[in-house]
Structure 1
Amino acid sequence: MSSTRKPVHLAVYDTLADWETGHTTAYLARAGYEIRTVGPGREAVRSIGGLQVLPDLALEELSPGDSSLLILPGADLWDTSDDLAPFARKAREFLDAGTPVAAICGATAGLAREGLLDDRDHTGAVSFYLAATGYRGGERYVDTDAVTDGKLITAGPTEPVAFAREVFRLLGVYEGEVLDAWYRLFHDSDAEAYAVLQKAAAS
């Protein structure tokens, strides 16, 4: 791993949807990125799937200058309380500093409430889900699997593979036919794509 490559930070909090970011973090780690978890504090949190995670650092300790990317997974708490609003504010801090943010599922609603989707192309679970936040970015909603606008990636809850694809593209982990093959393998179960990946790995 390059000594100058900064870690990727994965937000973790109670009720996080643990299936939404697995492709992303697994293949970023394989590409040489250190994955560090960041929680509301340093206390353990528990995912929807019952997994207990002990954060590497607390949100207040995280600086955009120390990170390659902030990943915000979905969680029930995005819609049932204001507990995760500090993570949306941290996303604003990241974007203002030019550091990428990737949000999936309920995290897109958190960003909408923070006003971060008002002037950026984006997607989410469905347009009326985000409209219910009262945000002003409805005209920028794109009905597709995942969207990248500048340094911000958004995706709906059923698109973890497309979400990962956009992260890999933005960070330059995979490109061109290799990126396309990775997506076809994991999204479409296209066996022919495996050969492309094997060839790229051997080169």
Structure 2
Amino acid sequence: MLQFVHLYVFPGFADWEPAFATAGIQSPQYQREPGRFEVRTVATGSGIVRSMGGLALLPDLALSQLKDADSALLILPGGDGWEDPERHAEALDRAGEFLDRGIPVAAICGATAGLARRGWLDARAHTSNAPAYLNGTGYAGAAHYRDEPAVSEGGLITAGGMAPVEFAREIFSQLELYEPAALEAWFNLFKTGKSEYFARLQRAAETPVPG
């Protein structure tokens, strides 16, 4: 059954932060069940959105059209405006609804601050760009902060802005996109650039997993 992973896009979103994740989801090569997931973009409106890198995107649908049953995961990238409590209010509302209903949410960089202001990091292990960055939001979850590139707990994935590969790995793990050996090889390939991991990735994807 085809499932959608929804990427929230907005003017000035940091296009490189979710790129490893969306590219992996869209590419069937090495996946456990090729074609099971597809990426769809969502925005507050229906007009063209231009990313921080200057890419012009026409969103697939508006946030108001996003239905819980249609989404396997919602990705919130960093970028402009997360310091403004109202700028991304609709996206944060949907993220909260998803988490309440057990649908995973993945937030990176500035988006973690948006979640922090809403209280979604108060009781979950999480990370971000730095402890001080989240402390500036006035949130109550400092005791649950982890000094790690990416953290996953209770259906919520968080990452710092310098950890797009780790962010993707946690998303792939949440979706069970790859077999464990393939996921490990994928991660090491993109973290090290060593060709030996490409060969391992190919072997892992070609090796049948005992049923």
Q: Name the amino acid aligned to 1:173.
A: L
Spell out, residue by residue over 1:112-153, the C-alpha distance to the aligned partner (whole angstroms, 9 max, x if none).
Answer: 011100010000000110110001000000000100002110
The whole-number CA distance in structure 1 between the counterparts of 2:197 and 2:86 is 43
The 5-angstrom pairing of residues 181-200 of structure 1 reads: 181-200=185-204
TM normalised by structure 1 equals: 0.95
Correspondence for 1:160 among 164, 167, 179: 164
Query: Partner of 1:57 in structure 2?
Result: 61
Correspondence for 1:179 among 180, 183, 188: 183
Spell out, residue by residue over 1:61-120, the C-alpha distance to the aligned partner (whole angstroms, 9 max, x if none).
Answer: 112211011000001111246211211111010011111100001000010011100010
Conserved? CA contact 1:17–1:47, under 8 Å: yes
Q: Between Structure 1 and Structure 2, how many residues are aligned?
A: 200
The 5-angstrom pairing of residues 1-203 of structure 1 reads: 4-31=1-28, 32=35, 33-80=37-84, 82-203=86-207
Could you list the runs of 5+ residues in structure 1 that have no partner in the other structure?
Answer: none
Conserved? CA contact 2:181–2:204, under 8 Å: no
The whole-number CA distance in structure 2 between the counterparts of 1:175 and 1:110 is 32
TM normalised by structure 2 equals: 0.91
- State the Cα RMSD in Å: 1.2
The whole-number CA distance in structure 2 between the counterparts of 1:128 and 1:23 is 27
Could you list the runs of 5+ residues in structure 2 that have no partner in the other structure?
Answer: 29-34
Conserved? CA contact 1:65–1:99, under 8 Å: no
The whole-number CA distance in structure 2 between the counterparts of 1:177 and 1:200 is 6
Which structure carries more relative contact order (alpha carbon 8 Å, separation 6+)? 2
**Which runs of 4 or more aligned residues in structure 1 lie more than 4 Å from their structure 2 counterparts after TM superposition?**
none
